[in-house]
Amino acid sequence: MVNYKEAIAKILSESIDAMSYDEILTLVEHPKNPEMGDYAFPCFKLAKAFRKAPNVIAEELVATLGTVELFSKIEAIAGFLNFTVDAEQFAKNVVEEVVKLGDAYGASNVGEGKKTIIEYSSVNIAKPFHMGHIRSTMIGESLHRIYKFLGYDTVAVNHLGDYGTQFGKLIVAYKLWGDKDVIDADPIPELLKIYVKFHQEAETNPALEDEARAWFTKLENGDAEATELWTLFKDMSLKVFNRVYGKLGVTFDSYAGESFYSDKMPAIIQELRDKKLVEKSEGAEIVNLEPYGLIPALITKKDGSSLYLTRDLAAAKYRKEHYNFDKNIYVVGSAQKLHFQQWIKIVELMGYDWYKDCIHVEFGMVALEYGALSTRKGNVAFLEDVLDKAVEKTLEIINEKNPNLENKEVVASQIGVGAVVFQELYTSRTKDYSFVLDKTLSFEGETGPYVQYTHARACSVLRKVGDSTEVTADYSVLSDEASKAVVRTLSKFGEVVLLAHKNYEPHTVARYAVELAQSFNRFYHDNPILVDDEAVKSARVALVKSVEIVLKNALYLVCLQAPEQM
């Protein structure tokens, strides 16, 4: 397919000495108003070099370029150079490229030969996998898919919270009040129950805290009983977590959590000492970061035990040595911003230039409409409960609107889970948002079910066409505004994926999916597809097929399935 942005950059670079080809290419954009053309180049940055007003520069460039075969019109509008592509040729190029590439349309090899680690989800063993975990889990999984789609060698890491003094407390609680059969039947709520009971009892019996510290010390020292119980808690938790991950379609390459780095921390602490980066402070060891505008970072406590920051230092160094990453991404909430600033600065002070390749992809909070959701423990909304409720309500909608749908339980799961995930990824990751189940499940508006329904509608058209004979498509019929809008949107998919990868923003793809669905539905409303004229039908069917392919690709990148019937 002709890359029109590159073609514009090439012809302009031959007439503009003040900018390189790459600089011009980054400025070529899509006008928000389709009447302004398909592509535009702003001339404002040339004003200083040319010593002329942008509108004058644009008019002179129009005269210089003259007629260009690829474009039906080049004109100067308000300081922009606007390019309009021949509608028939544009449609032919885009549609045939989409159909030819299929699942690979929008992909590229920009990440070829580059290793990227993405750490996400990172739930805590023996604690609830609650609704608040959905942000890290789904943003991370989407980025994982986007990076793989662009050719990166990616490693998905679930940095489990499986270490710390809380496990000493849990061991004590289990030995006092635990029932293995009861806990095994419903692990997380039961483990949480005895953990809460420990804290309640410790208020009147402080000796429990000492006992817990003693058990954690045993665990650190490899005591057989402590290790056996810790392994039991971990296995029970992962059984539940993996069930939830299965419903979400989330997978990991590594579950190396905090405990994995326990034997690697002494070397990191010693390295910090050897490089004279630590100093004593009230018996503890710190790295003073005040000269860099940060508060001091605690490396070891008074008793010599390590902290989460120490483990992150050890993990980062291990990953560099083990994977030799080009990029090390952490999908962790905004509340941990200072923590990441601290340890990444320490890596820099240690003399490792790869500190700049460690990236904190932060995100805001999700507020919950608790009244409409099933919860099993106080105000903790278990993510699995939310997903199950969404599937249940979706099945009710299907039974009301399309009771004879085949495999309706499977479809209800695809839509219900997809709705929850889409609502999460449709919001910019840096913003807080409120989750409202009924709004999320709507088949209208900017929702997952709306996009999935549009994909199913396209599949329905294609089923009706069946195995029609090959007919040369008359792409000139795709010159009406509705058809051109679909073609224009299809052409942008690759750019959208690259932008999402550059900004670590899956919502860019989610919003694109809605835009494509909306433009297709306008086209579907305005243009009869199964007409008698075979050449016209062939062109419109090819456009439908293109939309089906790209919607499926976009939905996959934001972790949704694409049902063929709804």
Write out pLDDT tens, residues 82-93. 999 999 999 999
Identify any residues that bridge with 80 across adjacent strands, giving them in sequence order. 42, 77
Query: According to the model, what pLDDT value does residue 165 have?
Result: 85
Instruction: Say how many C-beta atoms besides its own lie within 10 A of residue 196's C-beta.
Output: 13
If you average pLDDT over residues 411-428, what whole number do you get?
Answer: 96
Distance CA 435, CA 433 (A): 7
127 flagged as catalytic: yes
Instruction: Output the CA torsion sign for 97, 509, 453, 248.
Output: positive
Distance CA 232, CA 124 (A): 14
Query: According to the model, what pLDDT value does residue 84 have?
Result: 93
Identified catalytic residue from 92, 133, 320, 327 = 133
Identify any residues that bridge with 81 across adjacent strands, giving them in sequence order. 41, 76
Q: What is the token pair recorded at 23?
A: 């600089």
**From its phi and psi, is residue 232 left (phi > 0), alpha (psi between -120 and 50) or beta?**
alpha
Query: 1 vs 435, which has greater pLDDT?
Result: 435
Average pLDDT, the chain: 92
Asked if pLDDT for residue 247 goes beyond 50, the answer is yes
pTM: 0.92
If you average pLDDT over residues 353-377, what whole number do you get?
Answer: 76
Identified catalytic residue from 127, 193, 218, 492 = 127
Distance CA 347, CA 15 (A): 46
Query: According to the model, what pLDDT value does residue 470 have?
Result: 64
Asked if pLDDT for residue 377 goes beyond 60, the answer is no
pLDDT classification of 550: cutoffs 50, 70, 90: very high
**With 0-12 CB in 10 A as exposed, 13-18 as middle and 19+ as buried, what is 395?**
middle
Alpha-helical (H) ranges within 150-206 are 166-177, 180-185, 187-202
Q: What is the token pair recorded at 29?
A: 């954009």
* Residue 254 identity (one-letter amino acid): S
Q: What is the dihedral of CA 462, 464, 468, 470, to 10 degrees?
A: -30
Q: Which structural domains are found in the chain, ordered by start?
A: 4-85 (3.30.1360.70), 164-245 (no CATH), 381-557 (1.10.730.10)
Q: CB under 8 Å to 14, separation ≥6 — which residues?
A: none
130 flagged as catalytic: yes
Query: According to the model, what pLDDT value does residue 194 have?
Result: 93
Identify any residues that bridge with 154 across adjacent strands, giving them in sequence order. 116
Residues 8-47 pLDDT 10s: 999 999 988 889 999 999 999 999 888 888 999 999 999 9
pLDDT classification of 372: cutoffs 50, 70, 90: very low
Query: According to the model, what pLDDT value does residue 437 have?
Result: 80
Q: What is the dihedral of CA 81, 84, 90, 94, to 10 degrees?
A: 40
Instruction: Output the CA torsion sign for 262, 152, 330, 257.
Output: negative
* Whole-number percent of the chain with pLDDT over 90: 78
Instruction: Output the CA torsion sign for 134, 135, 136, 139.
Output: positive
If you average pLDDT over residues 270-299, what whole number do you get?
Answer: 94
In this structure, are residues 520 and 128 in contact, taking their beta carbons and an 8 Å threshold?
no
DSSP 358: E
If you average pLDDT over residues 104-115, what whole number do you get?
Answer: 96
Asked if pLDDT for residue 156 goes beyond 50, the answer is yes
DSSP 56: H
Q: Mapping DSSP to helix (H, G, I), strand (E, B) and coil, where does residue 43 land?
A: coil
Identify any residues that bridge with 327 across adjacent strands, giving them in sequence order. 116
If you average pLDDT over residues 221-242, what whole number do you get?
Answer: 93
366-368 and 358-361 beta bridge pairing: unpaired
Q: Mapping DSSP to helix (H, G, I), strand (E, B) and coil, where does residue 248 land?
A: helix
If you average pLDDT over residues 271-291, what whole number do you get?
Answer: 94
144 flagged as catalytic: no
Query: According to the model, what pLDDT value does residue 468 have?
Result: 57
Q: Which of 382, 392, 381 minimizes the C-alpha distance to 417?
A: 392
Residues 300-320 pLDDT 10s: 887 767 788 999 999 999 999
Residues 42-73 pLDDT 10s: 999 999 888 999 999 999 999 998 888 889 99
Q: What is the token pair recorded at 254?
A: 């590594």
| Integer angstrom CA distances of residue 416 from 8, 127, 483 | 44, 25, 31
Asked if pLDDT for residue 368 goes beyond 80, the answer is no
